[in-house]
């Protein structure tokens, strides 16, 4: 009896461990979205692409690459990522995808084959997108010319090469919920534009440190990505108007001009925003971000 | 952080193949610090001073275009001419091969992509000269007009994300000189940005 008991316990334990492992490796699932009744609008979607910063990472502008056909290197603390080809090319792009697969990629970081994307693809932010924005974005993505060719594979440091870890990462850091309807526009923009992807420091596991939202972070080159909290910006002598102006012009209040990744953000994204949206983001960063409960804003 | 989050965190620590230790070492090595121009000597100091002067002129121009200072065409011309004079060879001559002494923020890519670097420095001078000529033009919006997604079908329009913004194939100096100063300045600032992105270490 005693022996049988041991075996039963061992089997139960193995099942439990297996279940936990599967639970971890599988990662979380986003709440289902019913997108079937919505109609995508290409022009609105192009604007969403500008808000979400799709182009800077999925287009190699510097090398004269075609739109969304794959990006230049994105250097991070964890290695170098290359945004893939997301033109409607049948095999090299997303030409064979369905809207549902696109939504799962964007809101859940899940590829059509079920595998996980690295969080360098900021789905932890895009999961806040509204249903209509997702459908519009998909229409815009479908509208660009299909281009052959694939981006180089990511060049990562161990242990980040171990993709099985990504499910666990998602369990920790992905909270796949759309933005509540009562969010102010600036807050929605800060999420979708994924400011926190660079300006919030990360833990050793690559999750954002919720206690230090927008507090700045190190660059791989030994520099510093500045803090963009209202307090930090004010201390640095910036005003709401300075920030909004820098997002259209790239020019900082001291006359310096953005370089680094922020140059790409402005050139590929924020310079195309409406003045209203740039103002809303600037106001939110200065006045709203501190008071916003992090559990709803940034993923946690 | 709640208990709900703490438990999977522990499991994940084990799961991610020793990520904790390796990554902590990695992260610790990445702490940076702001480096100012303090301590610069020789050619590095010269070009840092040059950049500071360009920055001061850029600020003066931006302040007028933003309306934080009254618009003054005479001053606009003077500031734009100053930038023009600091571009081209005046700038590139301050980047002798491999001059990376502390506290230089220059990236070695300058010398592996010297022709592009030169092209951007020339472009800066040309665009600043055009801005000087545009100083008396009627004012206009800073931002590119509604054409952003217009007509040509969203992201395919070459103007919107084409090479022009990154330093090649933009409007000619003649075109710029005919634009509102606001628009001409935007192109100049994009050239600054393209060069900084490629050739300056962000501190």
ipTM metric:
0.83
Quote the minimal CA–CA distance from B42 to chain A in Å: 22
What is residue A288's predicted lDDT score, i.e. its pLDDT?
78
Chain A residues in contact with B1 (beta carbon < 8 A) = 210, 300
Q: pLDDT digit string (tens) for A77-101?
A: 889 999 999 999 999 999 999 999 9
- What are the tokens at A134? 């997702």
B contact residues 85-144, partner A, Cβ 8 Å cutoff: 142-144
Give B14 or B151, the one with higher predicted confidence: B14
The answer to whether B200 contacts chain A (CB < 8 Å) is yes
Q: Is the pLDDT of residue B29 over 80?
A: no
Residue in A with minimal Cα distance to B185: A249
**Best of A257, A260, A282 to disrupt the B interface by mutation (most B CBs within 10 Å)?**
A257
Query: Which of B161, B165, B196 has the most A C-beta neighbours within 10 Å, making it the best mutation to test the interface with A?
Result: B161
Q: What residues contact B93, with CB distance under 8 A and at least 6 apart?
A: none
State the smallest CA–CA distance between residue A247 and chain B in angstroms: 11
Residues of chain B with C-beta less than 8 angstroms from the C-beta of A222? 30-32
Which of A141, A211, A256 to mutate to test binding with chain B, by most B CBs within 10 Å of its CB? Answer: A256
Residue A34 CB-density burial (10 A; 0-12 exposed, 13-18 middle, 19+ buried): exposed
Q: Identify all chain A residues contacting B200, using CB atoms and an 8 Å cutoff.
A: 259-260
Amino acid A15: pLDDT: 65
Contact across the interface for B32 and A47, Cβ inside 8 Å = no
Q: What is the pTM of this model?
A: 0.83
Mean pLDDT score, A262-285: 95
Contact with chain A for residue B67, Cβ under 8 A: no
CA A116-A228-A82 angle, 5° bins: 30
By residue count, chain A amounts to: 300
For residue range A155-175, what is the model confidence (pLDDT) as tens digits?
998 888 888 789 989 999 999
Mean pLDDT of B78-92: 98
CA angle centred on A202, ends A201 and A205, rounded to 5°: 170
Q: Which residue of A has its CA nearest to B18?
A: A159
Local confidence band at A271 (pLDDT 50, 70, 90 cut-offs): very high
Closest CA to A148 of A88, A205, A97, A103: A88
Asked if B34 has any chain A CB less than 8 Å from its own CB, the reply is yes
> Between A61, A171, A248, which is nearest B161 by CB?
A61
Dmax of chain A from CA atoms? 81
Task: Calculate mean pLDDT across residues A110-119.
Answer: 94
Asked if B166's CB is within 8 angstroms of A61's CB, the reply is: yes
Q: Do A43 and B26 touch (CB under 8 A)?
A: no
pLDDT at A21: 77
Return phi, psi of residue A110, to 5°: -115, 125
What pLDDT score was predicted for residue A2?
Answer: 58
Residues of B in contact with A49 (CB under 8 A): 154-155
What's the residue count for chain B? Answer: 203
**Which residues in chain B have their CB less than 8 angstroms from residue A64's CB?**
163, 168
pLDDT at B136: 97
Annotate chain A with DSSP letters as a single string.
-HHHHHHHHHHHHHHHHHHHHHHHHH---PPP---TT----HHHHHHHHHHHTHHHHHB-GGGTPPTTSB--EEEETTEEEEPPP-SS-TTTSSTT--HHHHHHHHHH-B-TTSPBPPTTS-HHHHTT--HHHHHHHHHHHHHSPP----PPPPEE-TTTT-TTHHHHHHHHH----PPPTTS-HHHHHHHHTTTHHHHS-B-TTS-B-GGGTT--EE-TTS-EEPP-SHHHHHHTT--HHHHHHHHHH-B-TTS-B--HHHHHHHHHTGGGS-HHHHHHHHHIIIIITTTS-TTTSS--
């Amino acid at each position: 009896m005693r022996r049988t008991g041991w075996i039963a316990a061992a089997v139960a334990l193995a099942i439990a461990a297996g279940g936990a492992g599967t639970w971890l490796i599988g990662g979380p699932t986003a709440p289902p979205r019913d997108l079937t009744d919505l109609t995508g609008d290409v022009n609105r979607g192009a604007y969403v692409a500008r808000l979400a910063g799709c182009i800077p990472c999925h287009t190699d502008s510097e090398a004269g690459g075609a739109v969304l056909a794959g990006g230049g290197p994105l250097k991070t603390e964890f290695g170098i990522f290359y945004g893939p080809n997301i033109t409607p090319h049948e095999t090299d792009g997303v030409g064979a995808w369905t809207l549902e697969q696109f939504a799962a990629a964007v809101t859940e970081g899940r590829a059509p084959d079920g595998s996980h994307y690295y969080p360098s693809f900021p789905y932890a932010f895009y999961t806040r997108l509204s249903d209509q924005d997702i459908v519009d974005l998909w229409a815009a993505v479908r509208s660009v010319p299909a281009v052959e060719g694939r981006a180089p594979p990511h060049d990562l440091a161990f242990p980040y090469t171990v993709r099985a870890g990504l499910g666990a990462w998602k369990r920790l850091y992905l909270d796949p919920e759309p933005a509540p309807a009562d969010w102010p526009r600036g807050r929605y923009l800060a999420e979708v534009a994924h400011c926190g992807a660079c300006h919030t420091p990360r833990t050793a596991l690559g999750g954002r440190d919720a206690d230090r939202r927008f507090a700045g972070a190190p660059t791989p080159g030994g520099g510093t990505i500045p803090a963009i909290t209202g307090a930090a910006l004010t201390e640095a002598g910036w005003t709401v108007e300075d920030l909004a102006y820098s997002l259209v012009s790239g020019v900082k209040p001291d006359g310096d001009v953005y370089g680094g990744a922020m140059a790409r953000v402005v050139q590929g994204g924020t310079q195309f925003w409406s003045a209203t949206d740039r103002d809303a983001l600037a106001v939110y960063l200065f006045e709203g971000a501190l008071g916003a409960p992090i559990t709803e804003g940034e993923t946690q | 952080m709640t208990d709900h989050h703490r438990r999977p965190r522990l499991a994940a620590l084990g799961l991610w193949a020793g990520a904790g230790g390796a990554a902590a070492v990695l992260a610790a090595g990445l702490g940076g610090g702001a480096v100012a121009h303090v301590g610069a000597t020789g050619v590095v100091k010269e070009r840092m001073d040059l950049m500071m002067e360009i920055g001061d002129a850029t600020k003066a121009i931006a302040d007028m275009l933003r309306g934080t200072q009254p618009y003054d065409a005479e001053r606009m011309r003077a500031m734009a001419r100053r930038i023009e004079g600091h571009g081209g060879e005046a700038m590139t001559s301050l980047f002798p091969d491999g001059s990376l002494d502390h506290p230089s923020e220059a990236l070695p890519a300058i010398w592996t992509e010297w022709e592009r670097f030169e092209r951007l420095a020339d472009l800066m001078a040309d665009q600043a000269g055009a801005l000087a000529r545009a100083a008396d033009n009627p004012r206009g919006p800073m931002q590119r007009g509604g054409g952003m997604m217009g007509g040509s079908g969203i992201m395919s329009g070459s103007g919107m994300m084409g090479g022009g913004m990154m330093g090649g194939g933009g409007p000619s100096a003649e075109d710029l000189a005919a634009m509102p100063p606001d628009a001409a300045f935007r192109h100049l600032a994009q050239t600054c940005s393209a060069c900084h992105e490629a050739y300056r270490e962000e501190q």
